[in-house]
Amino acid sequence: MEGYDKYAFEPFAVTVDLAVFTVRAGGLQVLLIERGQEPYIGHWALPGGFVLPQESAGTAARRELAEETGLSDVSGLHLEQLCTYSEPDRDPRMRVVSVAYTALLPDPPEPRGGGDAASARWLAYDGLGPLAFDHDRILADAHERVGAKLEYTCLATAFCPPEFTLGELQQVYETVWGTALDRPNFRRKVLATPGFVEQIPGAARLTGGRGKPAALYRAGDATALHPPLLRPASAPARPPSQSPSPSSNPSPEGRSS
């Protein structure tokens, strides 16, 4: 911070990029926009935009989240700073430093074309083609972060609507991790963690028609999971197959995919 007058500094453009996840149709989906201009015209990219002069990056991220999803109230959603990407050549047009955020949505609406998004859509995380800029890497980092936070926080309820069954909560874990979990054991663990979920007395939901009705739960007030709910060491292969996260090294520097 010393030496404002000793070092010349170059102005940077500062943007936010959003990796917005949801669990729908039994799979993990990501909100993406299709680029309508060069560079990377026709490629999918993460939604995002410039940080305005009077707002913080977090404020900008929440504003963009509202614009891109079309949701009128995004104040209750989970939004978390992921990492900042600053490779000098990550945007061929100019020097852009981007602060990436991750958001989790329960049961999202189809995105409207509002904001500056040409055409925003929910796409399955698996089998995504190459994204624009370094967004492959950002998305992989975001996926890894979300998967890790499911282990030791109560974050999974952020993917669920206000009332949910334990089966739906388990599907969140299975979808993000790409692994199958033992249902009785999962249930035992969740219920043994105070404040993770609380049962709604007398309520039950028919599970898509078949099977015994499941009790409904609300998110509790706990935020941490002690002890954590660790994902199995090796993924025992689940129906919606999951590509293993390509970023084994979480360091954000050193490469621009």
Q: Is 211 in the site for DNA (CB under 7 A)?
A: yes
C-beta of residue 214 within 8 angstroms of C-beta of residue 167? yes
β-sheet bridge partners, residue 79:
103
C-beta of residue 33 within 8 angstroms of C-beta of residue 19? no
What residues contact residue 48 under an 8 Å CB cut-off, 6+ apart? 15, 16, 17, 18, 64, 98
First-to-last C-alpha distance (Å) of the chain: 31
C-beta of residue 138 within 8 angstroms of C-beta of residue 82? yes
Question: Residue 141 binds which one of a second copy, DNA, none, with CB within 5 to 8 A depending on kind?
Answer: none
**Whole-number Å distance between alpha carbons of 54 and 245:** 36
Q: Is 7 in the site for a second copy (CB under 8 A)?
A: yes
Q: Which is nearer to a second copy, 68 or 168 (CB)?
A: 68
Among 2, 75, 110, 184, binds a second copy (CB under 8 A): 2
From residue 155 to residue 184, the character string flagging contacts with DNA as x (rule: CB under 7 A) and all else as - is ----------xxx--------------xxx
Among 25, 124, 204, 230, binds a second copy (CB under 8 A): 230
Structure tokens, 82? 């992921």
Among 54, 72, 75, 234, binds a second copy (CB under 8 A): 54
Question: Residue 182 binds which one of a second copy, DNA, none, with CB within 5 to 8 A depending on kind?
Answer: DNA
Q: Which is nearer to a second copy, 133 or 159 (CB)?
A: 133
Smallest distance from a second copy to CB 8, Å: 8
Q: Is 187 in the site for DNA (CB under 7 A)?
A: yes
Residue with the two structure tokens 């900042």: 84
Among 97, 215, 222, 235, binds DNA (CB under 7 A): 215
In 75-234, beta strands by DSSP E: 78-85, 96-105, 120-124, 164-165, 197-205, 214-219
- Please give the distance of CA 55 from its chain centroid, rounded to a whole number: 22
Residue with the two structure tokens 């689940």: 238
C-beta of residue 85 within 8 angstroms of C-beta of residue 100? yes
Among 53, 202, 211, 239, binds a second copy (CB under 8 A): 53
Q: Is 224 in the site for DNA (CB under 7 A)?
A: no
**Whole-number Å distance between alpha carbons of 144 and 14:** 24
Question: Residue 158 binds which one of DNA, a second copy, none, with CB within 5 to 8 A depending on kind?
Answer: none
Interaction site with DNA (CB under 7 A): 165-167, 182-185, 187-189, 192, 204, 206-215, 227-230, 232
Interaction site with a second copy (CB under 8 A): 1-4, 6-7, 9-15, 17, 33, 35-37, 45-46, 48-59, 80-81, 83-84, 86-88, 91, 93, 95, 97, 99, 116-118, 132-133, 152, 226-228, 230, 233, 251-254
